[in-house]
Amino acid sequence: MIRKVAVMFALCLIAASAAQAQDPRVEISGTAGWTFSDGVGGNGVLVPGVGTFDSIDPKDAFSWGVRLGINLSPNVELGFLYDAQSTNLQLEGTKSVEFGDVTIRNYHGYFAYNFGDSDATVRPYVLGGVGATQYGSVSVNVGDTQRGIDSSTKISSTWALGLKAFPSPKFGIRLEGRWTPTYIKSDATGWWCDPYWGCYVTSNAQYSNQFELSGGIIVRF
């Protein structure tokens, strides 16, 4: 009996030591930052009594997000990230006119490569992902004319360079610069027809180049 207890105790010690030696595999992060955005073409829309507008610009605004990463190896990480930005769309041209408030949401699965050893205090990384951008409909009266953008979800990508710092094995901080071409609207370009399915309106999707600078806390286990 004593021998069995001793063997079980030894096995528990070995398992505990192995668990302590194993590198953390899961990282959960919360991030906050500021997103800079450029505009997309407005095709010279004429609003009677107001003017001509050449672009639709999302204003630079505060953004936030969450992230879950799983380390498949000391350097390779797969995960999912979500971020959101509450902003205002503006018509730019003869004058600047606020078009409407909107929250832009990004959902991306990503691949990241972390440089350095898994126990390094500072680890640079590169990240690329693919997923979708979604936002709600925007509708507002500009002058005497009703203008709007419908709610839509479009495929998008995201790319980043970042730095992780771990003052302790379980907790760290993240600094990141990330570029996300974000869908804003589509412009009709014509018609496409075939003998089987009929005719459809073709369109050209327009994306705003959005660049986010962010920081956040990492928890590892």
17: left (phi over 0), alpha (psi -120 to 50) or beta: alpha
CATH number for the domain harbouring residue 181 = 2.40.160.20
**Local confidence pLDDT in tens for the 221 residues of the chain:** 445 434 454 454 444 444 444 566 899 999 999 999 876 665 555 555 556 666 777 788 999 999 999 999 999 999 999 999 988 877 777 667 777 788 889 999 999 999 999 889 999 999 999 999 887 666 655 555 555 566 678 888 999 999 999 999 899 999 999 998 876 666 555 555 656 655 655 556 677 788 999 999 999 98
Please check whether residue 17 lies inside any domain of the structure: no
Please check whether residue 214 lies inside any domain of the structure: yes
Q: Please classify residue 66 by burial: count the beta carbons closer than 10 Å to its beta carbon, then call 0-12 exposed, 13-18 middle and 19+ buried.
A: middle
Count CA atoms within 13 Å of residue 136 on its CB side.
11
Q: If you ran DSSP here, which 8-state letter would residue 6 be given?
A: H
Please check whether residue 10 lies inside any domain of the structure: no
Q: Please classify residue 82 by burial: count the beta carbons closer than 10 Å to its beta carbon, then call 0-12 exposed, 13-18 middle and 19+ buried.
A: middle
Q: How many domains does the chain have?
A: 1
